[in-house]
């Protein structure tokens, strides 16, 4: 399926086309303000593409410089966690795992550690009690290092956004399904959806299509993922806006239509994925996604409280408002300027991006 087949006029999808064009100007200002050198974005509604575009230089230091295109491949950083969560939910609906089971059932080496009784759900919703970050490669064995990490809170009582929990979920999936995380994602998600430019290790012939970061070209920016060989449950994914559009269609097939792509999850599992699992007053989180109420959810001021999203440290965003049947994708290489800025500009930009798209809607 060619993505171009899904392009519709903004008016047909309920948008004011002139107001929607303002999104491109906003993103181009990010280049002028040195928030990033390249961006690509896409807005979907009712399973159709209302607008998409790309700008800037993907490789500004190349000779000649390489312009960003819709097929530019970005380091997606923590958008990887949604892939891990989707694989986990596929195991749930297949009866292979359940979310309330303790970690020790799949990783018996965790039995005598603080993490043995932590549930898969607590790992997936950042309520395990693990710290937000540790260098997991200090000892040369990431799994042993995390299992030896003391918990900072009683499981289920505190929300702390933690890469460590998703690294563990990656190990759980590999153990349960008998394959490496890159191969599992390729077989179960990327290949069925035709996500041809998505994966964990960019092929040599695709390096000219990568967006540069502060890491060597082709090496994942996240230090823990890099130390683990380039792929982990929390980071390592490379992808494009076009492929992420396919991913959204696989997660949420358009209602009332014959799916153009194979659904990744059953309807009941999809409902679970879209539902906040954390009790108040903890930050909202579904299995894999920031949810209302969460300070991490960059939904802006206009999208509904049903919105869920994930972001990535490299300056990425994948967001869905199921009430409006709206999908927003934004990829940037904000860590190219990692030494010059603290990332706050992109944090702000994501919310402005959401507001501009939502504000362009004229028909709900």
How many whole angstroms separate alpha carbon 119 and alpha carbon 278?
Answer: 13
**For residues 313 and 78, is the Cβ–Cβ distance under 8 A?**
yes
Is 102 in contact with 116 (CB distance < 8 Å)?
yes
Residues annotated catalytic, as ranges: 78, 81, 161
Looking from the CA of 268 toward its CB, the CA atoms found within 13 Å total: 3
Whether the ω angle into residue 281 lies within 30 degrees of 0, i.e. cis, is yes
Distance CA 66, CA 60 (A): 6
Q: Which residues lie closer than 8 Å to 58 by C-beta, 6 or more apart?
A: 37, 38, 66, 67, 68, 69, 72, 209, 210, 211, 212, 333
Helix axes 17-32, 344-359, angle to 10 degrees: 170
CA–CA separation, 57 vs 173, rounded Å? 37
Spatial separation of the C-alpha atoms in residues 353 and 328, rounded to whole Å: 9
Using DSSP bridges, classify how beta strands 316-321 and 326-332 pair: parallel, antiparallel or unpaired: antiparallel
């Amino acid at each position: 399926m060619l993505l171009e087949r899904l392009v519709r006029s903004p008016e047909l999808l309920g948008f004011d086309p002139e107001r929607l064009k303002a999104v491109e100007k906003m993103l181009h200002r990010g280049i002028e303000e040195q928030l990033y050198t390249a961006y690509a974005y896409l807005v979907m509604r009712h399973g159709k593409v209302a607008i998409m575009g790309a700008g800037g230089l993907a490789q500004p230091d190349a000779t000649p410089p390489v312009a960003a295109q819709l097929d530019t491949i970005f380091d997606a950083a923590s958008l990887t966690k949604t892939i891990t969560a989707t694989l986990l939910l596929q195991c749930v609906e297949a009866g292979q795992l359940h979310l309330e089971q303790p970690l020790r059932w799949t990783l018996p080496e965790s039995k005598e550690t603080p993490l043995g009784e932590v549930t898969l759900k607590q790992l997936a919703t950042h309520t395990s009690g693990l710290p937000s970050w540790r260098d997991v490669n200090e000892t040369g064995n990431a799994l042993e290092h995390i299992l030896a990490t003391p918990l900072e809170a009683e499981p289920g009582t505190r929300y702390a956004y933690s890469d460590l929990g998703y690294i563990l979920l990656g190990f759980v999936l590999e153990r349960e399904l008998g394959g490496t995380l890159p191969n599992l994602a390729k077989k179960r998600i990327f290949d069925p959806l035709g996500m041809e430019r998505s994966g964990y290790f960019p092929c040599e012939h695709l390096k000219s299509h990568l967006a540069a970061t502060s890491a060597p070209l082709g090496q994942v920016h996240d230090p823990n993922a890099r130390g683990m060989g380039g792929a982990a449950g929390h980071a390592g994914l490379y992808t494009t806006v076009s492929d992420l559009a396919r991913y959204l269609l696989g997660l949420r097939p358009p209602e009332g239509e014959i799916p153009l792509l194979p659904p990744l999850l059953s309807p009941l599992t999809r409902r679970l994925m879209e539902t906040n699992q954390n009790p108040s007053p903890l930050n909202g989180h579904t299995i894999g996604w920031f949810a209302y109420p969460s300070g991490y959810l960059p939904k802006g001021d206009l999208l509904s409280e049903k919105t869920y999203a994930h972001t990535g440290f490299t300056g990425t965003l994948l967001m869905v408002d199921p009430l409006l049947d709206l999908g927003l994708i934004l990829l940037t290489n904000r860590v190219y300027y990692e030494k010059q800025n603290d990332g706050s500009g992109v944090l702000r930009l994501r919310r402005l991006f959401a507001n501009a798209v939502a504000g362009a809607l004229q028909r709900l």
